[in-house]
Structure 1
Amino acid sequence: MDEIKIVCPAKINLSLDVLGKREDGYHFVKMLMQSISLEDLITVRKSNNEIKIYCDTKDVPCNETNSAYKAAKLMFEKFNISGGVEILIDKKIPVAAGLAGGSTDAAGVIKAVNELYDLKLSLDEMMKIGVNIGADVPFCILGGTALAEGIGEILTPIKPLGGLWCVLAKPQFSVSTREVYSKLKIDEIPKHPDIERLIGYIEKGDYVNLAENMVNVLENVTIKEYPIIFEIKNIMMEFNALGSLMSGSGPTVFGMFESKNAAEKCYNRLRDYLKEVFLVKTCN
């Protein structure tokens, strides 16, 4: 095998809590992570030269700063692989949007190199490699629905939350995750999510209560700087979303809906307001 194509799903946070800060700058978190049907497609092809990245989206760096490049370099060094790879990224996930667009590409490269070079790595082994690229990479390797702890790398799969309709809306700006976390004052967080309670709702299939009780503590930072996030949440709730939340450090907002019809009405309204709006489903 000389070439492989990997589908790389985005993620949303059904809730996100920050518990403390580590000495290395990372934060201790407790999150509910969910894969969605907004996906990049990457093609990884063996070559005799160095690692090369190709992407037709201008916001994606095609150099050593790209997470996919870092993942390939790490795999080649760790397993003494000679030669190189060409990585073609068909980018559909918005950049710097709180949807793990870079992390999921890195996860896809790790999986692809594992297959192309017959490394026979387990899921756990690939996840341990992935955390060296970024805290969201292990979840992007695992996928589905999971509780994430530590810096996001300690994952516990939970009952799949497949098939729920969601509308995603990204304002026309990007947000720095590092900056959002640096401005968060943990002792001033007004409300923390009850993660165990939310897991109980997922296990019971009670998506109404799940959606109504989602909390992302990073909203306290990002909404202050970008009030449009609050406006988008309000529009989603006006269009009968079960609940609406900012994903990750933002600025993307998602709303959960009981039906495709309800989701489409909200999608069409937001398309008049924003350029990047997506109608997706949760996936396993």
Structure 2
Amino acid sequence: MRPLSLKGLEAPAKINLRLKVMGRRPDGYHDLDMMMVPLTLADLMDLDLRPDGILVDCDHPDLKGQQQNLVVKAVHYAQKYWHFNQGCHVTLKKNIPLAGGLGGGSSDAATTLMGLAQLMGVSIPSGEFARIAHEIGADVPFFLSGGAQRAQGIGEVLSPIKIAFPLPIILINPGIQVSTKEVFGTLKMRLTSPTSDVSLPRSYNRLDDLCAWMENDLEASTCSRYMVIQHLKEALLCHGAKRSLMSGSGATVFGIFKTAEKRDQVFELMKKDFPTFWITKTEMAR
């Protein structure tokens, strides 16, 4: 007999180590070339089956009562394509900042899909990733795949990346919620047709080699509107981060450190320097 509920599911955050905008597609999306890694920072979720209806209880005030969030879309997807003919009660504890470039909503949706698939006794084939990306969210396939990934297309074309060392990380969010749609909208005059495929390494054995590929095409646009993002990057680098970037469309900034000990030292300094900002330490999830 299959279980009727799943408790304590983790929905991890992500950071974009690389985000290149390759061009605009006829469907309005943008072709991207990204490197993403999951983090130990995670939202927590419980799933309970019910006869009908979708109920989402969330401890974050900005999500209460929002029936159009990605978790609801994930349940609707299962009902539409997997013949899931029941309802679901989702309890969500948010640890990932909203609209911060860390993929929290997409991760919650992916965890909902994986949980429902487990409860139904079905698998999620990679052949569904394109449809999932279009109907729920472009980052959802990444979270379904697990591990470090190169993501192309709108995010549905995935290939694994091996990073053979820990990534101690500090995350800082200045309390700004950034609209991804608005950030991409400001790129309209700068976009060109897609360039040729870049031959990114699939395996990294040294942090310096990984850092050499790290960049984010969305930084200039977001930083021009929120100068604090550039200030946070500079502060992390000044304190000894090997690399600092904005994640996704922002506004969260991350710093990567050579050792966890150095990361922990800088974490204490950054808390003193920016006492009103959300700040946490984390690392790449294995």
Partner of 2:18: 15
Normalised TM-score (structure 2): 0.91
Deviation of the 1:79 alpha carbon: 2.3
Residues 50 and 87 in structure 2, CA contact (< 8 A), matched pair in contact too: yes
| Residues 166-218 of structure 1: per-residue CA shift (max 9 Å, x gap) | 000011111000000000146479xx9x9635x36xx2411123225411010
Partner of 2:247: 247
| Residues 121-140 of structure 1: per-residue CA shift (max 9 Å, x gap) | 24415634531201000001
What amino acid does structure 1 have at the position aligned with 2:277? K
Partner of 1:235: 235
Are 2:278 and 1:283 aligned?
no
Partner of 1:58: 61
Residues 60 and 95 in structure 1, CA contact (< 8 A), matched pair in contact too: no
Partner of 1:85: 88
Unaligned runs of 5+ in 1: none
How many percent of aligned residue pairs carry the same amino acid? Answer: 33
What amino acid does structure 2 have at the position aligned with 1:220? A
Counterparts of 1:149 and 1:178, CA distance in 2? 18
What amino acid does structure 2 have at the position aligned with 1:89? L
Task: State which drifts further: 121-130 or 139-148.
Answer: 121-130
Cα 1:69/1:122, change in 2 over 3 Å: closer
In structure 1, the residue corresponding to 2:118 is in which secondary structure? helix
Unaligned runs of 5+ in 2: none
| Residues 66-113 of structure 1: per-residue CA shift (max 9 Å, x gap) | 100110111012222223110000110110000000000000010011
In structure 2, the residue corresponding to 1:58 is in which secondary structure? coil
Are 2:112 and 1:109 aligned?
yes
What amino acid does structure 2 have at the position aligned with 1:228? V
In structure 2, the residue corresponding to 1:96 is in which secondary structure? coil
Are 2:259 and 1:259 aligned?
yes
Task: State which drifts further: 256-265 or 211-220.
Answer: 211-220
What amino acid does structure 1 have at the position aligned with 2:150? L
Counterparts of 1:68 and 1:267, CA distance in 2? 32
Q: How does 1:155-194 map to 2 (within 5 A)?
A: 155-160=158-163, 163-185=166-188, 187=190
Partner of 1:49: 52
Deviation of the 1:24 alpha carbon: 2.2
Residues 117 and 124 in structure 2, CA contact (< 8 A), matched pair in contact too: no
In structure 1, the residue corresponding to 2:199 is in which secondary structure? helix
Are 2:147 and 1:144 aligned?
yes
Counterparts of 2:215 and 2:239, CA distance in 1? 20
What amino acid does structure 2 have at the position aligned with 1:65? Q
Task: State which drifts further: 247-256 or 178-187.
Answer: 178-187
Partner of 1:217: 217
Counterparts of 1:67 and 1:46, CA distance in 2? 18
Are 2:4 and 1:2 aligned?
yes
Please, what is the CA RMSD of the aligned residues? 2.0
Count of residues in Structure 1 that have an aligned counterpart in Structure 2: 277
Partner of 1:32: 35
Residues 223 and 230 in structure 2, CA contact (< 8 A), matched pair in contact too: yes
